[in-house]
Structures are given as C-alpha cells and as structure tokens.
Amino acid sequence: MAGKRPQQVFTLVVQLGRSAGDGLPEGATGAALMCYASGVDEAEAVRETVAVLREADLAPLDVTGHGTLEEREAEGHEIDAEERALMQRALDENAVIVAQMTPFHDDD
C-alpha cells in the first residue's frame, strides 16, 4: 500500500433544505447536521457525506468543514469521549456518522 494516503475523520456541519420524504419534523424549514466522515482529505469526506445524505432523500445545501480531530484540538476545542468514539467509528467503518440534527423553523 505504498503511496496510499491514510483515512482521516473530518467534522462537518451540513445545512439541509427540505425535500419529500426527508423525515424532518413537520413545520421545519431545514436542518443542520453534525457529521463525522472519513476520507483521505476533506474534499473526499464532503463528497461522500453529500452522496450519503442524498441517498437518504435529504437535501444538502451547504457543507462547512471543521477539520480533523488533531486540527480541532490544536484550535482548543474540547472533544469528549462520546464524540471521540463516534469519530473512531467513522474511521473504523469508513462511514459517515450523523451525530446530531438540529431542525430549523421560521419564527413568524
């Protein structure tokens, strides 16, 4: 496997719009998802995440990368054991893990 770059886990926040069958709460205008995704670089992690979410009938609009575990620690982020375990699972399973969903509602 000479020359193959190792997989890393990236923390991504994905903004969702609405789409039919997306499973978001009634009245929600969209949502934000906190995801952990594996990839050899952030671009690959973003592509995989968007593909998985579209497959699940979700409508990703925007993805913001927050870096790898090491990058986040260097920025002073506190990362608890549960979050570390989810990151490790994403790496072990070469998967996208959705850790949190926050629905958006219009406050009229």
pLDDT of residue 3: 64
Return the closest-CA partner of residue 46 out of 54, 74, 102. 54
Break the chain into its structural domains and give their ranges.
8-105
Question: What tens digit of pLDDT does each residue of 33-50 get?
Answer: 999 999 999 999 999 999
Question: What tens digit of pLDDT does each residue of 39-89 get?
Answer: 999 999 999 999 999 999 999 999 999 999 999 999 999 999 999 999 999
* Cα angle 29, 35, 41; round to 5: 125
User: pLDDT at residue 107 above 90?
Assistant: no
Q: Find out whether 36 and 96 touch, Cβ atoms under 8 Å.
A: yes
pLDDT of residue 71: 96
Phi and psi at 76, nearest 5°, equal 90, 10
